[in-house]
Amino acid sequence: MAFTADTLRLLDSDGSLIRNDRTSEYLPLIEALSDDQLRDFHRQMVVMRRVDVEAGNLQRQGQLALWIPSIGQEGAQVGSGYAARPQDHIFPAYREHVVGRIRGVDTMRIIELLRGLSHGGWDPKQHGNFHLYTLVIGSQTLHATGLAMGLTLDGKTRSGDPERDEAVVVYFGDGATSQGDVSEALVFAASYQTPQVFFLQNNHWAISVPVTRQSRTPLFHRPAGFGIPGIQIDGNDVLASYAVTRTSLDAARAGEGPRFIEALTYRIGAHTTSDDPTKYRDEQELEFWLANDPIQRFEAHLRGRGESDAFFAELATEAEDVAADLRTRTLALGVPPASDMFAHVYSEPHPLMDAQAAWLEAYEAGFEDER
């Protein structure tokens, strides 16, 4: 599924802006961005890719149980991540590390998750309303819809003030669209007209199964059956991702109901470090998407605007520094005490937790002499 006439693109393959009737709705949003904001888009994409490489290496060196790379999807993620306003809620799937970075989640939290030290553990309220990863495919779409229902009930949206009105964006993939929960979330969202954007990253592969097995029709057609407007964008175009998500979120927060965005992108790497895409993917498809890399295209755009070599050189250094810092901090990580298992299973006292925590403590104390 490459780009078609339906696919909204703002950036052409050579990095120039596409100006036509369809893009004219979105280009003013792009033109309103400052040079620094555009540099930030690029900075986040470049740093994330370097972090992805470093974390993949850490996994190969036995420091992580798993890494989930996002290489190739930086445009879809950074654009949509910047489109959300500070008061918005973000429900990721589990590959949106850079959206977390934009919202203030240190990638070390993800490292800890994939090193086997936690199941999440950050407080969304203290981290830009970036909620925890959900590993059961598609389950988070319902949580996002429920929270969006709450925003409506509480009058935290639809006042007409986009600086104040809250909205929700939920990420999920092409595989998730086959899950019942995603369909149920669309039903509830349409029924309660939630202030919500469904952001589908169609990266074409659910581990080894191609998107054609999930759907014989373009996925952005699906929301129409639920009464939700859908649009397909070039997900490797960071500006299209930004402008369309921004517009959709603002429509949703203004009371126009939920929106659905299908961002066509590609998982350049493996599903996770446990996967081997050479067993099921063909090289030609990969080459098409490598030629449509989101970072290269945006670099061409910035250079076309006159960005200096120095900026790109400094950015490369910054990315190296971030990666080195993550490595250092990863190697310094300890293991939490075993008693942490019992700490938050319940929020109020529970006799079984107390008894088992006490038993474990006494059991471990029995080995003191052997240490």
Partner 1 sequence: MTIESLSMAKAINLGLRRAMTENSRVLLMGEDIGPLGGVFRVTEGLHAEFGGDRVLDTPLAESGIIGTAIGLAMAGYRPVCEIQFDGFIYPGFDQITSQLAKLTSRHGGSMTFPVVIRVPYGGHIGAVEHHQESPEAYFAHTAGLRSVTPATPHDAYWMIQEAIASNDPVMFFEPKSRYWPKGDVDDAASGFPLHASRVVREGADITLLGYGPMVNVLLAAADIAAQEGTSAEVVDLRSLSPIDYEPVLASVRKTGRLIVAQEAPGFVSIGSEIAATVTERAFYSLEAPVIRVAGFDTPFPPAKLESAYLPDADRVLEAVDRAMAY
Catalytic residue numbers?
267, 271, 280
Which residues, other chains included, contact 187 with Cβ-Cβ below 8 Å and sequence gap of 6+? 226
- The span from the CA of 298 to the CA of 130, in Å, is 26
Determine contact, residues 153/145, Cβ cutoff 8 Å. Answer: no
Which is nearer to partner 1, 118 or 215 (by Cβ)?
118
At residue 145, the 3 state secondary structure works out as helix
CB atoms near residue 301 (< 10 Å) = 24
Instruction: Name which position in 139, 178, 215, 296 contacts partner 1 (CB under 8 A).
Output: 139
Instruction: Name which position in 136, 207, 224, 331 contacts partner 1 (CB under 8 A).
Output: 136
Does position 143 interact with partner 1 (CB under 8 A)? The reply is yes
We find the least distance from the C-beta atom of residue 353 to partner 1, in angstroms, to be 9
Which is nearer to partner 1, 27 or 187 (by Cβ)?
187
Instruction: Name which position in 290, 333, 343, 358 contacts partner 1 (CB under 8 A).
Output: 343
Does position 305 interact with partner 1 (CB under 8 A)? The reply is no
**Stretch binding partner 1 (CB under 8 A), from 246-254, 269-277, 349-357, 359-367:** 349-357
Query: Which tokens is 111 given?
Result: 């490292």
Q: How many CA atoms lie within 13 A of 370 on its CB side?
A: 5
Q: How many CA atoms lie within 13 A of 145 on its CB side?
A: 24
Within 179-208, the residues that bind partner 1 by CB under 8 A are 180-181, 184-185, 187-188, 191
We find the least distance from the C-beta atom of residue 341 to partner 1, in angstroms, to be 9
**Stretch binding partner 1 (CB under 8 A), from 149-157, 259-267, 296-304, 320-328:** 149-157
Which is nearer to partner 1, 19 or 164 (by Cβ)?
164
- The span from the CA of 98 to the CA of 92, in Å, is 11
Helices (H), the chain: 27-31, 35-60, 74-83, 97-103, 107-115, 139-153, 180-192, 211-214, 238-251, 283-291, 294-304, 309-331, 340-343, 351-365
We find the least distance from the C-beta atom of residue 188 to partner 1, in angstroms, to be 5
- The span from the CA of 318 to the CA of 98, in Å, is 15
We find the least distance from the C-beta atom of residue 349 to partner 1, in angstroms, to be 10
Query: Which tokens is 245 given?
Result: 């998500």
We find the least distance from the C-beta atom of residue 357 to partner 1, in angstroms, to be 13
Instruction: Name which position in 134, 193, 232, 330 contacts partner 1 (CB under 8 A).
Output: 134
We find the least distance from the C-beta atom of residue 359 to partner 1, in angstroms, to be 12
At residue 359, the 3 state secondary structure works out as helix
**Stretch binding partner 1 (CB under 8 A), from 3-11, 177-185, 242-250, 262-270:** 177-185
Give the relative orientation of helices 35-60 and 309-331 as an angle to the nearest 10 degrees. 40
Does position 61 interact with partner 1 (CB under 8 A)? The reply is no
Instruction: Name which position in 27, 40, 87, 150 contacts partner 1 (CB under 8 A).
Output: 150
Does position 131 interact with partner 1 (CB under 8 A)? The reply is yes
Within 99-118, the residues that bind partner 1 by CB under 8 A are 118
Which whole-number Å values give the CA distances from 131 to 9, 73, 104, 262, in the listed order? 29, 19, 11, 21
- The span from the CA of 107 to the CA of 127, in Å, is 12
We find the least distance from the C-beta atom of residue 132 to partner 1, in angstroms, to be 6
Instruction: Name which position in 15, 124, 210, 255 contacts partner 1 (CB under 8 A).
Output: 124
**Stretch binding partner 1 (CB under 8 A), from 216-224, 238-246, 249-257, 341-349:** 341-349
Does position 169 interact with partner 1 (CB under 8 A)? The reply is no
Distance of CA 87 to the CA centre of its chain: 17
Query: Which tokens is 120 given?
Result: 């999440």
Please give the residue ranges that form the binding site for partner 1 (CB under 8 A): 118-126, 131-132, 134, 136, 139, 141-151, 153-154, 180-181, 184-185, 187-188, 191, 343-348, 350-352
